[in-house]
Structure 1
Amino acid sequence: MTRTNRRNLLKLGLAAAAVPALPGLLRAAPKPRGFAPAASGWRSFELRSQVRLAAQGATQVWLPVPAVETEYQRSLDHSFTGNASEAAFVTDPASGARMLHARFDPSTAEPTVELVSRIQTRNRVVDWNRTSDVQEDPAVLEAALKGSSLKPLDGVVLERAREITQGAASDREKIAAIYAWIVTNCHRNLDTPGCGPGDIQATLTSAGLGGKCADLNGLFVGLARASGVPARDIYGLRVAPSAFGYKQFGANSPDVTGAQHCRAEVWLAGHGWVAMDPADVLKVMRAETDRWIKDPADPLVAPVNAALFGNWEGNWLAYNSASDVTLPGADGALPFLMYPQGLNAQGRLNELDAKAFSYAMTAQEV
């Protein structure tokens, strides 16, 4: 190599060293280092859900609105813009799900609407060593013991619940048995579209104990209810990376269009509503590495398995805990509302095909 070439190479090296690493581009993702969410302060996020459609006659759009106000989430503001002829925030009176409903005239060349939600979240942590006289509305607990269209509480669901919880002396023991049974016997099916249909009877039979979060956490909720323990699904969206390096637990870019995830919670006397997420344990086992991990005691899985029985990380927001949701202006009901919904002269739009729909969702911490 000549002296001139060496000088040029040195200049290139120094120039490259002076360029800052771009987040998410040159910096390698952190490796998992355990998983132990702890009590934390509030984090603020802005979520933008934008729909831009081709004209197809009279059109309607329904966008889920984060409407869960709890000790782990609170809303700051919700607003919308667009060219809808009518648009308003509405609440399904039966399920309690909140949504933005927009109508567009047939003459609208490019129906467009954007929903902007500003919310705060924080880690959710249970202290099993402390109890309190926490109370809940009896009507809320009663609703969390009922079946739904895709959560029948009789037949195979009831039979399996009785088998799993046999010998359990308390609600907490029942829930521990159900959680452990799902982690040990079920699996994440990578071929299941979206978050899964949430048909728990099918999950126990024709689906061979496989599915995604709506199926697996939905099964957890159904088995809990069939065992007499109030439980409910919580439908939401990941909005930030996991602080613990697990790529499957976070939204790893500002684009969160496909980052929907539902969780679960159960009511336990002395603790109130307690976080649960066996589906994410199974997600780590199946998808965190190229190897399908079958043992919950695996070092990568064990801390997740322990922590998600009672805790979750605040990089996720909740839309609602509703089932059998009625969309105003549409026939029939949805088993759950977690994705944008649309209807035009050609029929219902496919919420699982964001590009064809078409919609996009972005999130940023503010």
Structure 2
Amino acid sequence: MQRRRFLSLSASLGACALPVCASSTSLIPTVAHAAPASAISTVPATPNAADGWRTFELTTQVDLPAGNGPANVWLPVATTPSGAYQTALGTHWDAPGARAELRMVRGASGIGVPLLAVAWPQSASQAPRTVTLTNTFATRDRRVDLSQPPSDNAPRESAAVLRQYLQPTELQPTDGLVRETAEKITLGHKGDVEKARAIYQWIVDNCRREGSVRGCGTGDVRYMLTTGDLAGKCADINALFTALARSVGIPARDAYGVRVATSRHGFNSLGKAGDVTRAQHCRAEFYAAGYGWVPVDPADVRKVVLEEVPGGLPLDDLRVRAARAMLFGQWEMNWVAFNHGADIALPGAQAGAKGAVPFLMYPNGELAHARLDSLDPDTFRYRMNAREITA
């Protein structure tokens, strides 16, 4: 059995999410030539539960059908983003008969996206092809107090990183109708916080969650604004926030991840534990001097409207108003972040299956040079399970 392990994955996605070598393949050296188990470094101590930290284990298992053609799988991994709300404690995997390694790929504007790349070569063997990836991480609820004036002691981001999060992506342009819309929304508002708040409130008021949309949506902002169809799911609604903010000079980014626990804040619709195969969720955040990165999630406000109770809730319901107030400046961390990347070319994709994916939040794969459907886990044959680790 071939086994590769890499522990202490603690990347900062703000600048360079993982150390990479100078070669064009951007391999992570300690992974490409993994040490034997006896030489693996010790996992850092778990953050203290008394300080609000919770520890989780997220396991993803992919089972491809037996065959002798080549196959590839790409899986997102948990990291340590900028901000003290999530810490990666360890990553390990098992992929018999495959070459498996952590890779750093660069999406739009050079934003790093770490992933596990697994490749089975063409072979005469008919053995099933399986990979099991386990991420261990700790999270704690995140809150930026916007009722206080900006502080010189607030976390700061480098100018180079902020420039990255002002750039357009394939599905999130920042010119034309996007900028015109944002300028109308923010007219008369002063400062990045108030402009971002105006965009957030406009999205909550004008967008709607559409349950028939597959997965989390695509985040095609131009389509939404051109057609006037402001319906979708989290990758659509929060992408709209990101693009509108960037278009008026506010650094903003999407955060792609998955829910890992039920909500402790009383929201039935904003959590999932156990089988989280279909619990992917995209969030957003913007940067304001004197506050640092500020978490927001207008898409989850609309999720509360649609799904909190059968038949939905009106915008003026107390539960919706509570979610609306909370999700401008706060995230409940019953969710794990994978990355902030966009327009990601999957390394090693074969002929006929090339082309960037708009984001990496789901398992991706190809079989005999044909891309598998990431939004159909039953046919693709993958499962994701989350559990909280208690002392």
- Check whether TM > 0.5: yes
Residue 310 of structure 2, aligned match among 250, 266, 290: 290
- 2:99 corresponds to: 86
Pairwise CA distance, 1:48:
0.3
- 1:277 corresponds to: 297
- 2:278 corresponds to: 258
Q: Secondary structure at the match of 2:173?
A: coil
Pairwise CA distance, 1:291:
2.5
Residue 353 of structure 1, aligned match among 349, 365, 376: 376
Comparing 196-205 and 144-153, the one that deviates more:
196-205
State the one-letter code of the partner of 1:268. A
Contact between 2:254 and 2:284, CA under 8 Å: does it hold in 1?
yes
Distance 1:219 1:170 in 2: 20
Pairwise CA distance, 1:205:
3.0
Contact between 2:257 and 2:361, CA under 8 Å: does it hold in 1?
yes
Pairwise CA distance, 1:67:
1.9
- 1:36 corresponds to: none
Normalised TM-score (structure 1): 0.86
Gapped runs of 5+ residues in structure 2? 1-49
Normalised TM-score (structure 2): 0.81
Judging changes above 3 Å, is the alpha-carbon distance between structure 1 residues 346 and 136 closer, same or farther for their aligned structure 2 residues? closer
Distance 1:162 1:153 in 2: 11
Distance 2:86 2:348 in 1: 30
For each residue in 1:69-128, what CA deviation from the matched residue of structure 2 results, as whole angstroms up to 9, or x when unmatched?
331001000000021421101110333111110111333521100000000000001122
Pairwise CA distance, 1:137:
1.0
Comparing 106-115 and 262-271, the one that deviates more:
106-115
Residue 97 of structure 1, aligned match among 107, 113, 120: 113
Distance 1:124 1:40 in 2: 12
Does residue 48 in structure 1 map to residue 48 in structure 2?
A: no
State the one-letter code of the partner of 2:355. G
- Mapping 1:29-40, distance limit 5 Å: none
Q: CA RMSD in A?
A: 1.4
Distance 2:243 2:250 in 1: 10
Q: Secondary structure at the match of 2:301?
A: helix
Distance 1:151 1:324 in 2: 10
Comparing 94-103 and 219-228, the one that deviates more:
94-103
- 1:154 corresponds to: 175
Q: Secondary structure at the match of 2:142?
A: coil
Taking only the aligned residue pairs, the percentage that are identical comes to 47
Gapped runs of 5+ residues in structure 1? 1-38
Distance 1:224 1:40 in 2: 33
Distance 2:341 2:298 in 1: 20
Pairwise CA distance, 1:151:
0.4
Larger Rg belongs to:
1
For each residue in 1:338-358, what CA deviation from the matched residue of structure 2 results, as whole angstroms up to 9, or x when unmatched?
000001115000000001001
State the one-letter code of the partner of 2:183. R
| Aligned residues between the structures | 326
Q: Secondary structure at the match of 1:361?
A: strand
Runs of 4+ in 1 over 6 A off after TM superposition: none
Pairwise CA distance, 1:293:
2.7
Distance 2:280 2:118 in 1: 22
For each residue in 1:261-303, what CA deviation from the matched residue of structure 2 results, as whole angstroms up to 9, or x when unmatched?
01000001110001000000001011111223342x3112011
Residue 357 of structure 2, aligned match among 306, 319, 334: 334
- 1:344 corresponds to: 367
Pairwise CA distance, 1:207:
6.2
- 1:121 corresponds to: 139
User: Which one has more relative contact order, counting CA pairs under 8 Å at least 6 apart?
Assistant: 1
